[in-house]
């Protein structure tokens, strides 16, 4: 108990007080914010006589009359050790869009480029078990949208990873919102991706203190932040029970735009996307379908330099005849068996296999279990 009482108040900072407010048990964020607005951040901890009258429980009153400053000090120290900066609700860097949601986090643990918090953001989410085509779409859309938006996602396998990678590939900026403390990477295989995001001017965000491991209940909380930070959410492949639908529902509740990419009716990983479209999400076939909803936003990522454009033009010219190869029309955007390609193209199987190999080397199709997929390189 001595840790809670014997404290030099002059050593306490606003971060200490916000962490203490965050620690009040079983009280919604919006109610905590209302208390701070009514009494003031530091004065809240001296109004013990009024705490019972306003309906707080005994444990909630104790959290205000005897905060565990020692535990809070440990959080601040641990945050510094993992090179994290703590952003509180009243900090100028706190994202304004987050303040609009029903239960905004009082404290954000951040690592990386805080300037991204003030720029327009678009979320891209989807299945962890995404198809080759789904991953390709997420990668491509993220790269193209990163000229206008900071791309936010959840660092998960599948679509999330491709959203981050596609953004970095086009020298864009991306934010990863995670469901653990910033000293933990989940999934662990994304340690290098997390390092790349920070090294290339991106940002990692969590509302969980260092040392907090992933738990099932953390991911819906993370999902509401992904959508809450963003002007809109693009869903690329999601099953009907996908966590991505939680993000989409959060977006709708928060008044954000929801976009959905359709797929084959035989693709179980796309049924959630089709359900969203039935509920009113905007069907997206091209990034222009998203950009037209935000025509007043400025470009935040510069176009490639002139030499790069010439190089791309030259490469496109070299590949033009391949894109017009009639056999490419025999390969669908769903898995197409080789025998079906042979049947559609009316070519000998040895010729088909040779041409498919050339098309794959040029990134126009992809070999997958069961056949080939056409890839959209537009």
Render pLDDT for 220-277 as a digit per residue (tens, 0 to 9): 999 999 999 999 999 999 998 888 999 999 999 999 999 999 988 888 888 999 999 9
pLDDT of 303 > 70? The answer is no
Q: What is the pLDDT of residue 8?
A: 57
Alpha helices in 172-305 (DSSP H): 191-199, 218-228, 243-253, 271-278, 288-291
3-class DSSP state of 111: strand
DSSP, res 96? G
Query: In whole angstroms, what is the distance from residue 370 CA to residue 127 CA?
Result: 20
Q: What is the pLDDT of residue 103?
A: 94
Out of 133-142, 187-196, 309-318, least confident range: 309-318
Lowest mean pLDDT among 155-164, 236-245, 260-269, 353-362: 353-362
Q: How far apart are the C-alpha atoms of 276 and 240, rounded to whole Å?
A: 9
| Predicted local distance difference test score (pLDDT) of residue 252 | 92
In this prediction, residue 325 carries a pLDDT of 66
What mean pLDDT do residues 200-220 have? Answer: 97
**Residue scoring higher pLDDT (55 or 94):** 94
Q: Three-class SS of residue 377?
A: coil
Q: What does the alpha-carbon distance between residue 338 and residue 321 come to, in Å, rounded to a whole number?
A: 22
Structural domains of the chain, with CATH: 2-81 (no CATH), 110-294 (3.40.50.450), 306-374 (1.10.10)
**pLDDT confidence of residue 304:** 47
For residue 55, give the DSSP letter. Answer: T
DSSP single-letter state for residue 191: H
Per-residue pLDDT tens for 61-107? 999 999 999 999 999 999 999 999 999 999 999 999 999 999 999 99
Q: Among residues of the chain, what percentage have pLDDT more than 70?
A: 89
pLDDT for res 326: 67
Would you list the DSSP string of 307-372?
HHHHHHHHHHHHHHHHHT-GGGGGS-SS-B-HHHHHHHHT--HHHHHHHHHHHHHTTSEEEETTEE
H or E element in which residue 63 lies: helix 58-65
Go through 270-295 and write b for each residue having 16 or more CB atoms within 10 A of its CB, e for each that does not.
bbbbbbbbeeebbebeebeebbeeee
On whether the CB atoms of residues 243 and 267 are closer than 8 A, the answer is no
pLDDT tier, 10 (very low <50, low <70, confident <90, very high otherwise): low
Q: Which two tokens stand for residue 241?
A: 């029970």
| Average pLDDT taken over every residue of the chain | 88
What's the pLDDT score for residue 324? Answer: 53
Q: What pLDDT is stored for residue 351 in this prediction?
A: 79
Residue 156 has which token pair? 């998960």
User: What's the confidence (pLDDT) of residue 358?
Assistant: 81
Using alpha carbons only, give the angle 191, 192, 193 rounded to the nearest 5 degrees.
90
Strand partners, 151: 122, 174
**Residue 158 pLDDT more than 90?**
yes
3 state DSSP class of 299? coil
Question: CA geometry: angle at 18 spanning 251 and 109, to 5°?
Answer: 55
Nearest to 134 by CA among 160, 171, 156: 160
Question: What pLDDT was estimated at residue 335?
Answer: 85
Whether the predicted pLDDT of 337 surpasses 50: yes
pLDDT confidence of residue 266? 85
């Amino acid at each position: 108990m001595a840790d809670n009482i014997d404290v030099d108040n002059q050593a306490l900072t606003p971060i200490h007080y916000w962490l203490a407010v965050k620690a009040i048990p079983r009280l919604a964020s919006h109610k905590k914010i209302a208390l701070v607005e009514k009494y003031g951040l530091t004065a809240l901890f001296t109004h013990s006589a009024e705490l019972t009258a306003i309906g707080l429980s005994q444990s909630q009153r104790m959290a205000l009359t005897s905060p565990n400053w020692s535990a809070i000090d440990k959080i601040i120290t641990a945050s510094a050790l993992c090179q994290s900066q703590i952003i509180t609700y009243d900090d100028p860097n706190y994202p304004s869009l987050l303040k609009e949601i029903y239960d905004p986090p009082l404290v954000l643990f951040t690592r990386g480029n805080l300037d991204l918090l003030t720029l327009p953001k678009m979320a891209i989410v989807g299945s962890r078990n995404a198809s080759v085509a789904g991953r390709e779409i997420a990668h491509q859309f993220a790269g193209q949208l990163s000229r206008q938006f900071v791309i936010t996602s959840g660092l998960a396998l599948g679509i999330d990873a491709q959203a981050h990678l596609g953004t970095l590939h086009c020298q864009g900026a991306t934010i990863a919102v995670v469901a653990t403390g910033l000293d933990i990477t989940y999934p662990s295989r994304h340690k290098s991706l997390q390092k790349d995001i920070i090294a290339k001017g991106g940002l990692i965000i969590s509302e969980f203190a260092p040392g907090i491991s992933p738990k099932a209940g953390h991911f819906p909380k993370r999902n509401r932040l992904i959508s809450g930070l963003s002007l809109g959410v693009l869903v690329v492949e999601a099953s009907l029970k996908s966590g991505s639908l939680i993000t989409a529902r959060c977006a709708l509740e928060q008044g954000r735009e929801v976009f959905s990419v359709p797929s084959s009716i035989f693709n179980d990983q796309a049924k959630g996307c089709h359900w969203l479209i039935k509920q009113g999400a905007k069907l997206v076939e091209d990034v222009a379908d998203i950009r037209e909803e935000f025509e007043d936003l400025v470009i935040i990522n510069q176009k490639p330099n002139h030499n790069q454009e010439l190089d791309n033009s030259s490469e496109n010219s070299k590949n033009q005849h391949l894109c017009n190869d009639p056999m490419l029309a025999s390969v669908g955007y769903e898995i197409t068996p080789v025998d079906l390609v042979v049947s559609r193209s009316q070519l000998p199987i040895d010729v088909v296999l040779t041409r498919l190999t050339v098309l794959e080397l040029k990134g126009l199709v992809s070999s997958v279990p069961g056949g080939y997929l056409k890839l959209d390189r537009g």
